[in-house]
A and B are shown apart, each in its own frame.
Chain A
Amino acid sequence: MTGSRRAHPSRVPVLALGATLLITLQGELHDSMAEQLQEDLTHRIAHSPVTGVVIDISGVDIVDSFLGRVLAEIASHARLMAARTILAGMRPAVAITLVELGLTLPGLPTALDVERALAMFEHGPCPDPPHPRRANHADLP
């Protein structure tokens, strides 16, 4: 009786804008799709000169611990291959819920929207180059 349920594409499309990859997540994201995306992205970054990844989640209505972990892992894999990841367009209700859930998503900077995320990449290299071991605590003032 699954025929009446809406069919879903099995892959999330990844768009290349120069050296930046743009991923747009939308609606109901199945766990298997999130895992597939993680694999696809890691492959893309390893095989092309990518320096930035923007993940647009403005169309996502919940981020739970599973999706949160996938996003954090994408960012940390990208970082190991010298690419930065920015999460764009998180809905206010999602942000409020994430805080209460207790997910902090360290290593995942956010931007209000895709345009601003892309602008963040244009403003030169990351002023605070991530250290492979202690990305968040390398240089406390």
Chain B
Amino acid sequence: MQTSHDTGTIRLPIGSDTDLAWVRQQVRQAAAELGFGLVQQTKLVTAVSELARNTLIHGGGGQVEMTVLHQGPVLGLRLAFTDDGPGIRDIEQAMTDGYTTGSGLGMGLSGAKRLVQEFGIDSRPGGGTTITVAAWATGLPHPRAEDG
């Protein structure tokens, strides 16, 4: 049902905490240019910070691909975080508030999902992880069927 189409994609590496800061800046700038409000920008950049850090820490580094979306007059951003790390064995468990295999708070994945409009995980043990999110610049009528 996704009728949006792409207009250009940029790829940013995630290999250090300097890269995390750079990714946050790039996403913030893109979101501002697309007309995201301040709260929307803050939510998106916070989600991006969580996911990029997971790519770095749990996935051993990787990259993020940022794509501008158009859906009629509405603009959005899609971000796909990819790594070749160990993958996530139990996705449902990883998505639970407070679940962590490290020393974090376990709020990153579940919290990031609440901060964006679309969220998907593709991961299998030993096969790396891709987490894709999208957010829109205005109160887009959400696809009703989105669940989980």
Contact = CB atoms under 8 A, between A and B. Distances in A.
A69 B8 CA distance: 36
A39 interface: no
A31 B53 CA distance: 10
Contacts of A8: 21
A97 interface: yes
A140 interface: no
Given A30-B17, A96-B42, A101-B46, A65 B114 contact: no
A101 B105 CA distance: 11
Nearest to B38: A93
A100 B115 contact: yes
Contacts of A97: 39, 42-43, 46, 115
Contacts, number: 76
Contacts of B50: 64-65, 101
Interface of B: 17-18, 20-22, 24-25, 28, 38-39, 41-43, 45-46, 49-50, 53, 97, 104-105, 107-108, 110-112, 114-115
8 contacts: A30-B17, A61-B45, A63-B46, A65-B50, A92-B39, A96-B42, A97-B46, A101-B114
Given A62-B49, A97-B39, A103-B111, 11 more contacts: A30-B17, A31-B20, A64-B108, A66-B53, A93-B41, A96-B42, A100-B115, A101-B112, A101-B114, A102-B111, A103-B105
